[in-house]
Each structure stands twice: as structure tokens, then as C-alpha cells.
């Protein structure tokens, strides 16, 4: 059994930065992983993304898993400009199919950040 989302993802997809380990037992099929990902908290999802794909364009997680993971994080934390930008960068790095969505995320991040004029009266 896996104690973290990261361990389950590593077992299922591999880890570019660690020695290859044999595939885990039958409890680690993709459906179970996606179910766990769906209900994971934002911190667990971000830990998985940052450990298995530290440079965004690397790692062995399939792009569709990364996109879903960022979507789930943003549903939990919709007002964090840094996360919006990180998700946008991920989409741009694996696009161009999602460039319009990335642009929208970037615009949302800009709207959430205080303007420099508001900081200096």
C-alpha cells in the first residue's frame, strides 16, 4: 500500500530522478490513482508535481495527469496568483493546444495581484 499520492504516482508512472523500481502490486492501477488524485488535498497534489516534475517540462507523469492535477489544485486554491502562473506555465510547456487557457490563467493571476500604485498612496 502507498502512504502518499507521490508514492502511488511514482509506482505507476516511474520517476526520472530515482532508480527504476519494479511495478507495484495490483492495488496501483491507473483508476485507483486517478480516484486518489481526484480527492487529494492541494498540498498532496503539489508535493507530487514538484517531486516528480520539478522543472515542469521533465518527469514521467503523463501530460494529461499533470493538467488534471493542476486543475484540481486550482479548484481548491483559485485565488493564488503563483499557482495560476505555475499552471499556465505547465500548459504552455506542453501545448500549444492549451495556450488560450494558459493566457486566461495568467490574466487571472494579474487581476489578483495588487497593482504597484495601490501599494504607494
Residue boundaries of the structural domains of the chain = 5-114
Q: How confident is the model at residue 22 (pLDDT cuts 50, 70, 90)?
A: low
3-state secondary structure labels for all residues of the chain: CCCCHHHHHHHHHCCCCCCCCCCCCCCCCHHHHHHHHHCCCHHHHHHHHHHHCCCCCCCCCCHHHHHHHHHHHHHHCCCCHHHHHHHHHHHHHCCCCCHHHHHHHHHHHHHHCCCHHHHCC
pTM greater than 0.85 (yes/no): yes
Q: What is the pLDDT of residues 28-72, one digit of tens each?
A: 689 999 999 999 999 999 999 999 999 888 889 999 999 999 999
Q: How confident is the model at residue 117 (pLDDT cuts 50, 70, 90)?
A: low
Amino acid at each position: 500500500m502507498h502512504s502518499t499520492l507521490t508514492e502511488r504516482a511514482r509506482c505507476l508512472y516511474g520517476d526520472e530522478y530515482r532508480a527504476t523500481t519494479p511495478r507495484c502490486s495490483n492495488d496501483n492501477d491507473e483508476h485507483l490513482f486517478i480516484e486518489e488524485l481526484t480527492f487529494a488535498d492541494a498540498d498532496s497534489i503539489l508535493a507530487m508535481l514538484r517531486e516528480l516534475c520539478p522543472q515542469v517540462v521533465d518527469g514521467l507523469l503523463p501530460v494529461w495527469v499533470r493538467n488534471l492535477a493542476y486543475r484540481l489544485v486550482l479548484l481548491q486554491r483559485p485565488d493564488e496568483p503563483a499557482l495560476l502562473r505555475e499552471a499556465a506555465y505547465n500548459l504552455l510547456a506542453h501545448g500549444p493546444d492549451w495556450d488560450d487557457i494558459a493566457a486566461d490563467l495568467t490574466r487571472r493571476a494579474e487581476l489578483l495581484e495588487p497593482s504597484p500604485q495601490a501599494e504607494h498612496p
